[in-house]
Chains A and B, each alone.
Chain A
Amino acid sequence: MSNTPSTHDATGPIIKRPTRWHIVVFLLPAFIVYSAVMILPLIETLRLSLFNTVDGQSTFVGLGNFKVLFGDERWAHDFWNALKNNFIFFVIHMLVQNPMGVALAAMLSLPKLRFASFYRTAIFLPTLLSFVIVGFIWKLILSPIWGVSPFLMDLVGLKSLFSPWLGKPGSALIAVSLISVWQYVGIPMMLIYAALLNIPEEVIEAAECDGVTGWSQFWKIKLPLILPAIGIISILTFVGNFNAFDLVYTVQGALAGPDGSTDILGTLLYRTFFGFQLQLGDRSMGATIATVMFLIILAGVSLYLFVIQRRMRRYQF
């Protein structure tokens, strides 16, 4: 993180070093594997988005596919709907998952808390579960027919507040987002927890000597120190959410119903690229949507790296 002053630029007799071949040799396997499974498919996807099938022949169409995606009323409607839903999905994660992760981590790091390791494991456990299991469990929990949630709500007299959330266009997206939050809240919790443990005892003691304790200690001392970790979590959430597909697919199906209300970019891409039922797959349009997703994520990450991260203050101990 800090810039150690460079010693190599110091004047002195210039000794010609032998070429350090081992660096290349050691990097090569990772480079080859990464290129083959990541870079090449990415380039191929970007290339495919510029081609389309015309009269049975794959033809270069320039930005034609993008024109269709944004210009054609139906395509544009589906795309903007998916993007809007994806944005809501992301906002819910940022507003619920991350603050909750910070709060849980702050509570876990309280020295007086008993069974801390049990809570830590229990809260982190869903993250390790397969999304198929998570989706299935929550579909059952929320089921109006066999589900445990109407029963439990009945016990406390709140049955009237229950509704088939996953089946209503107004609430389905929020319900799915919260399921995702439930599953992944362990990750911000762990990262923040690690960051909190990294704060040296002396800093806290110094704060206490100055009379900064309790809430104000959290806001004035701890939070600024874990801000870089929160930044990392935000960008992870952003990338994860805009690539999300699995949970929506398992809970709501490929058509992401009801009425497309849970359709996010991932499910739109899946339907377009692979087809669904009678709909045949359209590889070119699929690649076009994938390219747009890539650009959105690239823009988000760049914004973070070049604008936000540079302004963030870091503290050295």
Chain B
Amino acid sequence: MTRNAIKGLLLATSILGTAGFAQAADVTLTVESWRNDDLAIWQEKIIPAFEAKNPGIKVVFAPTAPTEYNAALNAKLDAGSAGDLITCRPFDASLELFKKGHLASLNDLPGMENFSPVAKSAWTTDDGATTFCVPMASVIHGFIYNKDAFDTLGISVPTTEAEFFAALDKIKAEGSYIPMAMGTKDLWEAATMGYQNIGPTYWKGEEGRAALIKGEQKLTDDAWVEPYRVLAKWKDYLGDGFEAQTYPDSQNLFTLGRAAIYPAGSWEIGLFNTQAQFKMGAFPPPVKNAGDTCYISDHNDIGVGLNAKGANPEAAKKFLTFVASPEFADIYANSLPGFFSLNSTAVKMADPLAQEFVSWREKCKPTIRSTYQILSRGTPNLENETWTESANVINGTDTPEQAGEKLQKGLDSWYKPAK
């Protein structure tokens, strides 16, 4: 079926292409994407907004199934039949496309100044010289809590580590709620919702991440082991049998109102809004001492790039400038609460929970997940190892120090920092 869909798309692009020749004024741009969930938003909101301002340019949003996107896109790019605009996966997958010459440099694109270096990091070459995709959306980590539970128990929102554990103790002592909904069965929950969520506070976000890539810091350093020590303490506050609790189990425990706090990624917002019958709030990862700078993981997820061999580069660049504009950011972020625009201009979100998440950008320093850029290129893969070790630390299989040592040893075996 998908194959037919691709064939149909190819046919459609070729016919539309020739149609373009006939009426020289009309140009049709095709956007390649894996986000078929977003089809309606593109067709009903984004594309009309662009076409209204740019007469003569038509845009077609042509998504493929997420699991087939990378393969299908590579085939189309090699055959020269890909659309003018390419939706970019973060980091190495897109970097590979740029190195092969499939994506054009966007350094001089008007509108790129709207993005911070962190926002662009997922689509920038290792030396930081060239950016090849316009950042579109990111997801933010934090904690979602059951507001009704907090009110009944008389707990205020914790801001420091000590307050956080005091709140957990109180919920545990009272006994009607599981203090925290998280399991270690699926491994990635422990790493993504746990380690990468609270970690930036200890390794000071970008500062620590850059130092790790440069080789100035090691995963055995205190800044990288301390989050594991904190994580190890979570064990006592998780539900019975958390070792076999899966990700959907955690989501259900929280939305059914059986757990008070949920270590979250902002992508949960859409689902939780429809499922939870109680009021929800959110707070950023607690800082160590009151008054410390807070850090959040604001992880780049989606970007858009320019097909270097596309037929209509000028029109495509106009579209990319539109994607880089605050107007696009507003439409996109409000249609998909939980996927935040990376634009530096703050977007006012209609959804209160999403607004709470995005408001942290103003007071906290953003960073991306530490293992994603450069450090997960070799074997053993640092990201996968981090999953296993984070779960091990919470399960008590490894001590925080052992975990740091194992990770650093694995990284050392293939990664040589540029001197």
B244 touches A276 (CB 8 A): no
Nearest B residue to A285 via CB reads B379
B376 touches A278 (CB 8 A): yes
B372 contact from A168, A257, A278, Cβ within 8 A? A278
B242 contact from A78, A165, A167, A276, Cβ within 8 A? A167
26 CB contacts below 8 A, A to B, read: A74-B380, A75-B379, A143-B241, A143-B246, A144-B245, A146-B249, A150-B241, A164-B244, A165-B244, A166-B243, A166-B244, A255-B384, A257-B185, A257-B388, A257-B391, A258-B185, A258-B395, A259-B391, A259-B392, A259-B395, A271-B384, A277-B383, A278-B372, A278-B376, A279-B376, A279-B383
Kindly state the separation between the CA atoms of A257 and B187 in the bound complex, as whole angstroms: 7
- Verify if B410 is at the interface (C-beta below 8 Å from A): yes
Known: A253-B186, A258-B395. A276 touches B384 (CB 8 A): yes
Interface centre among B184, B187, B383, B410 (most CB of A within 10 A): B187
A258 touches B249 (CB 8 A): no
* Chain A residues within 8 Å of B37, by CB: none
- Verify if B125 is at the interface (C-beta below 8 Å from A): no
Report the count of interface residues on A (CB-CB < 8 A). Answer: 33
Known: A167-B185, A259-B397. A278 touches B383 (CB 8 A): yes
A255 touches B187 (CB 8 A): yes
- Verify if A139 is at the interface (C-beta below 8 Å from B): yes
Known: A167-B184, A258-B397. A278 touches B384 (CB 8 A): yes
A278 contact from B186, B381, B395, B397, Cβ within 8 A? B381
Known: A167-B184, A257-B388. A279 touches B381 (CB 8 A): yes
Nearest B residue to A167 via CB reads B243
- Verify if A145 is at the interface (C-beta below 8 Å from B): yes
Q: How far is the CB of A107 from chain B (nearest CB, A)?
A: 33
Kindly state the separation between the CA atoms of A255 and B186 in the bound complex, as whole angstroms: 9
Known: A143-B249, A164-B242. A169 touches B397 (CB 8 A): yes
- Verify if B152 is at the interface (C-beta below 8 Å from A): no
Kindly state the separation between the CA atoms of A144 and B185 in the bound complex, as whole angstroms: 11
B interface, over-half SS: loop
- Verify if B168 is at the interface (C-beta below 8 Å from A): no
A145 touches B245 (CB 8 A): yes
B243 touches A164 (CB 8 A): yes
- Verify if B98 is at the interface (C-beta below 8 Å from A): no
Kindly state the separation between the CA atoms of A241 and B372 in the bound complex, as whole angstroms: 35
Q: How large is the interface on B (under 10, 10 to 19, 20 to 34, 35 or more residues)?
A: 35 or more
Which B367-402 residues have a C-beta within 8 angstroms of A?
371-372, 376-377, 379-381, 383-384, 387-388, 391-392, 395, 397-398
A253 touches B242 (CB 8 A): no
Known: A74-B410, A142-B244, A145-B253. A167 touches B395 (CB 8 A): yes
Kindly state the separation between the CA atoms of A166 and B241 in the bound complex, as whole angstroms: 10
Nearest A residue to B178 via CB reads A145
* Chain A residues within 8 Å of B185, by CB: 164, 166-167, 257-258
- Verify if A44 is at the interface (C-beta below 8 Å from B): no
Which B144-169 residues have a C-beta within 8 angstroms of A?
none
Known: A143-B249, A257-B185, A258-B392. A278 touches B243 (CB 8 A): no
- Verify if A217 is at the interface (C-beta below 8 Å from B): no
B245 touches A277 (CB 8 A): no
* Complex interface bits, A141-183 against B, C-beta within 8 A gives 1, otherwise 0: 0111110001000000000000111111100000000000000
Kindly state the separation between the CA atoms of A278 and B387 in the bound complex, as whole angstroms: 12
* Complex interface bits, A67-89 against B, C-beta within 8 A gives 1, otherwise 0: 00000111100100000000000
B244 contact from A74, A78, A167, Cβ within 8 A? A167
Kindly state the separation between the CA atoms of A279 and B188 in the bound complex, as whole angstroms: 14
B242 touches A74 (CB 8 A): no
Q: Which are the 5 A-B pairs with shortest beta-carbon distances? A: A144-B241, A167-B243, A164-B244, A167-B244, A164-B241
B413 touches A74 (CB 8 A): yes
- Verify if B239 is at the interface (C-beta below 8 Å from A): yes
B379 contact from A169, A259, A282, Cβ within 8 A? A282
B184 contact from A143, A145, A258, A277, Cβ within 8 A? A258
* Complex interface bits, A39-53 against B, C-beta within 8 A gives 1, otherwise 0: 000000000000000
B384 touches A277 (CB 8 A): yes
* Chain B residues within 8 Å of A257, by CB: 185, 187, 387-388, 391
Which B224-257 residues have a C-beta within 8 angstroms of A?
239-246, 249, 253
- Verify if A116 is at the interface (C-beta below 8 Å from B): no
B392 touches A164 (CB 8 A): no
* Chain A residues within 8 Å of B383, by CB: 277-279
Kindly state the separation between the CA atoms of A257 and B398 in the bound complex, as whole angstroms: 14
* Chain B residues within 8 Å of A253, by CB: 186-187
Q: How far is the CB of B142 from chain A (nearest CB, A)?
A: 22
B388 touches A259 (CB 8 A): yes
* Chain B residues within 8 Å of A139, by CB: 246
